[in-house]
Amino acid sequence: MSTYETLLVEDRGPVRVITINRPKALNALNAQVVAELTEVVEETAISDSVRGLVLTGGGEKAFVAGADIKSMSDMNPGEALAFAGQGHALGEELNAIGIPVIAAVNGFALGGGCELALACDFIYASTTARFGQPEVKLGVIPGFGGTQRMLRRVGMARALELCMTGEMIDAAEALRIGLVNKVVENEQLLETAVKTATTIASMGPLAIAKVKEVIHEGANKSLDDANLQEQTAFASLFASADQKEGMAAFMAKRAADFKGQ
């Protein structure tokens, strides 16, 4: 595995934990952090042993407090477009990887940090977590997918309100509106996320990859087309060794030994 200047990467059984490790800068995203995150996600995507991914922030205050404003302040439109493209590419990598990606939000998740969490499959938050898209306060808008992923996560009216007011909300409100899946005490956060990822890792990996693919792609299709995609994906898994093993294990009342084949 590669080493990174801004990240800590640790494998806990079948689950890889990536910690954004710039606590003095509240883990703010700059071009280097985004590039290193993209690299480790690409590396994880070709791993045969990693079946779950958890993203979290180093230190006690922030998951990711936002993009690095100092590095953005002098950008021209071309540079801003390139930086936004880098962020969107990372989001697309997280969506495309065929394993669950869980954001373990341990503090501030603002701006680019909220967008990074939104690019994950689901979000677990500590009671101290805070979420927001405050870009309008800087005269810009979310640029890493925040408008569109927030829309799809919480609905149009709430997405418009959050992105127009720049309001920061706490974990309880984020749970209420469906932005996060679960809220736990900070000391339990990473363990809870890893436990969920480990549980998913015990399922048929080809099936998990298909669930993710069908739900992500189906969200942008008509119901008829999305249902057709589901039927096709369901049928395709009957050509896999995993399907034979899973059903044989069920009938034999034993644990399945999936190989991802």
pLDDT in tens, 88-132: 999 999 999 999 999 999 999 999 999 999 999 999 999 999 999
- Residue 1 has which token pair? 């595995």
Phi and psi for 28 in degrees, rounded to 5? Answer: -60, 145
In order of 39, 149, 163, 199, the CA distances from 154 in angstroms are: 29, 9, 12, 26
Distance, CA of 89 to CA of 107 (rounded, Å): 24
Domain 205-252 is of which CATH architecture? Answer: Orthogonal Bundle (1.10)
Residue 71 — very low, low, confident or very high, per pLDDT cuts 50/70/90?
Answer: confident
- Has domain 7-201 been given CATH number 3.90.226.10? yes
Q: How far apart are CA 130 and CA 152, in angstroms?
A: 19
Residue span(s) of the chain under CATH 1.10.12 come to 205-252
Distances (CA, A) of 235 to 175, 206, 215, 223: 35, 12, 16, 18
Would you state the pLDDT for residue 68?
Answer: 83
Does residue 149 register a pLDDT over 90? yes
CB 92 within 8 A of CB 9: no
What residues are annotated to the active site?
Answer: 115, 135
